[in-house]
Each structure stands twice: as C-alpha cells, then as structure tokens.
Amino acid sequence: LAKTTQPISMDSYEGQEVNITCSHNNIATNDYITWYQQFPSQGPRFIIQGYKTKVTNEVASLFIPADRKSSTLSLPRVSLSDTAVYYCLVGVFSGGYNKLIFGAGTRLAVHP
Amino acid sequence: DSGVTQTPKHLITATGQRVTLRCSPRSGDLSVYWYQQSLDQGLQFLIQYYNGEERAKGNILERFSAQQFPDLHSELNLSSLELGDSALYFCASSVVGAAEVNTGELFFGEGSRLTVL
C-alpha cells in the first residue's frame, strides 16, 4: 500500500489560495489519489479524487504530475470555515482487498 | 448528511465492559469500513466488510470484533474495555462492485463517541 506524507500543519489567511502537497512515492499503477476534509468531531468528507493531470470541482483542484509520486490539493480563496484537517489517501477500491489508510493529515488553520 | 447512520452517538461505560456499535450504510452500498480516532489522533483503519464478508483487516485488537449482516448493516463489538479504547468510532460505506475496480469514495457517518471510565 502506498504510504503518504503530508505537512503536519499549515497556516493561511482568508482569501488566499492554499496548496497542500502529498508525497506518495510508491504509488501503484491502479491507485487513485483522494483527498478528504475533517472538522472536529465529524466524519471525514470527500473533497476530490484523481488519477493523473488535473481535476477540478466546485470546491478544489487536484494537480497530479506525470510521475504521480505526489499530488497537490489547491483550495482557492479559503475562508475561516476551511479550517480543518485534510487527508490524502492513495489506493484502489475493488471488491477484493481494501485497506484504506489515512495518514496524519494536514491541519489547516485559516486566520482572519 | 452522508446517508450513513451510526448509533449510539455517545456511550459512556466502565472498564471491563462490552459495547456494540451499529452502522447502517447508505442504501445500495455493499462495503462497510470501521475506523477508530482517539483524541487528536488520525484515523486508524480497523476492518472492512464487503457484502457480508470480511475483506481487509487493519490494527484491530483481538478484543474487538465486527460483522456485517445480510441487510448490510454492520456492528462493531468492543469487549474488555480499557481506558485507552475511549475514542470516536467511525463507520464508512462505499459502492464497490464485486468484479470491477471501482474508485468510489467513502461516505462517513457522524461517529460513535465512546468514553470508558
């Protein structure tokens, strides 16, 4: 299983763009990259998922270079409500063996 | 609302006791995952079930067990409880096909907060 490495914490200010990078050097060919957001005492919430290049949805963008050994979650113009822990996961969902491991995550603090 | 229901939301018990946490996955989801999150810690994967069968095991203690029933709800049984078992226990579900490689996302419940005194 691919192990992920993220910064432990990040600080930003309202209105700024935040980029959180995740390293996954031993990502496998079939692995997808998924990001989750978690607020205190709540279950994690899916943000975005991608396999290669760039994926964008209404809340974030995900940039994945050609070698796929890292990925960057980009949150445009953050607000105070984006203060949360962000987790990067690498894996594949199948009917067979799944063992979805969350890393320590990145604790993002957005300041006024 | 993720569609995943967990009960009870809060549970306080004493050391040595046994508790059962229940999870109802989203309608149509075949896979159920259990995670443990201690105070200010990350999410520890415990176990996964797919359509009633155990599919993957993580750092689940021998004092803990789980199962998924024919109606797809799942229960996590925690026995001989210790102070260190106090945590939030999350259940998640996903749509996972039997044969295909599916990159479906996980939908988490709001968790069951267990306090062992």
Q: Where are the domains of chain A?
A: 9-111
Q: Tell me the percentage of chain A whose pLDDT exceeds 90.
A: 64
pLDDT of A50 > 60? The answer is yes
| pLDDT score recorded for residue B50 | 86
Q: Nearest CA to CA, how far is A72 from chain B (Å)?
A: 18
| pLDDT score recorded for residue B55 | 85
CB atoms A93 and B113 under 8 Å: no
Alpha carbon distances (Å) from A102 to A1, B36, B106? 11, 11, 12
The CATH superfamily holding the domain A9-111 is Immunoglobulins (2.60.40.10)
Cα(B19)–Cα(B10) distance, rounded to whole angstroms? 12
CB atoms A93 and B101 under 8 Å: yes
| pLDDT score recorded for residue A22 | 94
A6: left (phi over 0), alpha (psi -120 to 50) or beta: beta
Which chain B residues touch A51 with a CB distance below 8 Å? 103
State the CB neighbour count (10 A cutoff) for residue B106: 26
| pLDDT score recorded for residue A95 | 47
pLDDT band (50, 70, 90) for residue A26: confident
| pLDDT score recorded for residue A44 | 92
Cα(A74)–Cα(A78) distance, rounded to whole angstroms? 10
Q: Tell me what the pLDDT averaged over chain A comes to.
A: 89
Cα(B80)–Cα(A77) distance, rounded to whole angstroms? 48
Higher pLDDT, A60 or A100: A60
Rounded to 5 degrees, φ, ψ at B83 are: -55, -40
CB atoms B102 and A49 under 8 Å: no
In this complex, the residue of B31, B90, B94 whose CB is nearest that of residue A43 is B90
Cα B20 to the center of its chain, rounded Å: 10
| pLDDT score recorded for residue B23 | 98
Tens-binned pLDDT, residue by residue, of chain B (117 aa):
889 999 999 999 999 999 999 999 999 888 899 999 998 778 888 998 988 999 888 889 999 999 999 999 999 999 999 999 999 999 999 876 544 444 557 899 999 999 999
Higher pLDDT, A103 or A83: A83
Residue B56's H or E segment, with its range, is strand B53-57
